[in-house]
Each structure stands twice: as structure tokens, then as C-alpha cells.
């Protein structure tokens, strides 16, 4: 799993993992290509942004991200089945 480290200041220890602003779940990516594409897009939006890809993610964080993804997929399936009826 991969996540994106974002620095809020120039201080070396002022980083955080990028997260959803509504539910505060950290964005985790299973494929390196996907996280690299997101980083590239973010740097195009703000070239001065200091970010990097990390694999240093604790198990609880990965579980929360995975649970959120499963909830979203279940909701999409439910919405699709409701639209077909």
C-alpha cells in the first residue's frame, strides 16, 4: 500500500498523510502507478508543494481505508441495483 506525505511547512517533521477532508480517512493506494499519477497531478496544480510517496503506513490506517473502500463499493452496487428497477 502507498500513501502521500504532504509537508505543511518547510520543517522536516511537519508532514502528514493526505486524507479525505470530510471523514479524515487517509488516502491509500494499492498500485504504485495510481499514486504516482495522483502525485503528478498534484504537482501540476502546485509545483511548489512538497510531497512524496510512502509505504510507511500502519495497519490501522490501511484497515480504515480498506473499510471505506468496501463501504463505497457496496453503496455503488446498491445504487446500481436501485437504478435498474
Tens of pLDDT, residues 22-62: 999 999 999 999 999 999 999 999 999 999 999 999 999 99
Least confident of 7-16, 17-26, 32-41, 72-81: 72-81
Total number of domains in the chain = 1
Residues 6+ apart with CB under 8 A from 49: 6, 42, 43
Q: Model's pTM, two decimal places? A: 0.82
Q: Which one, of 37, 4, 35, lies nearest residue 19 by Cα?
A: 4
- Give residue 28's domain range: 3-84
The average confidence (pLDDT) of the chain is 92
* Interstrand relation of 51-54 and 3-7 (parallel, antiparallel or unpaired): antiparallel
Amino acid at each position: 500500500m502507498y500513501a502521500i506525505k504532504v509537508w505543511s511547512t518547510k520543517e522536516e517533521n511537519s508532514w502528514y498523510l493526505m486524507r479525505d477532508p470530510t471523514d479524515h480517512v487517509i488516502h491509500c493506494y494499492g498500485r504504485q502507478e495510481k499514486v504516482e499519477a495522483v502525485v503528478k497531478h498534484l504537482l501540476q496544480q502546485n509545483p511548489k508543494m512538497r510531497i512524496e510517496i510512502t509505504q510507511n503506513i500502519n495497519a490501522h490506517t490501511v484497515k480504515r481505508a480498506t473499510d471505506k473502500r468496501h463501504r463505497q463499493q457496496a453503496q455503488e452496487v446498491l445504487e446500481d441495483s436501485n437504478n435498474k428497477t
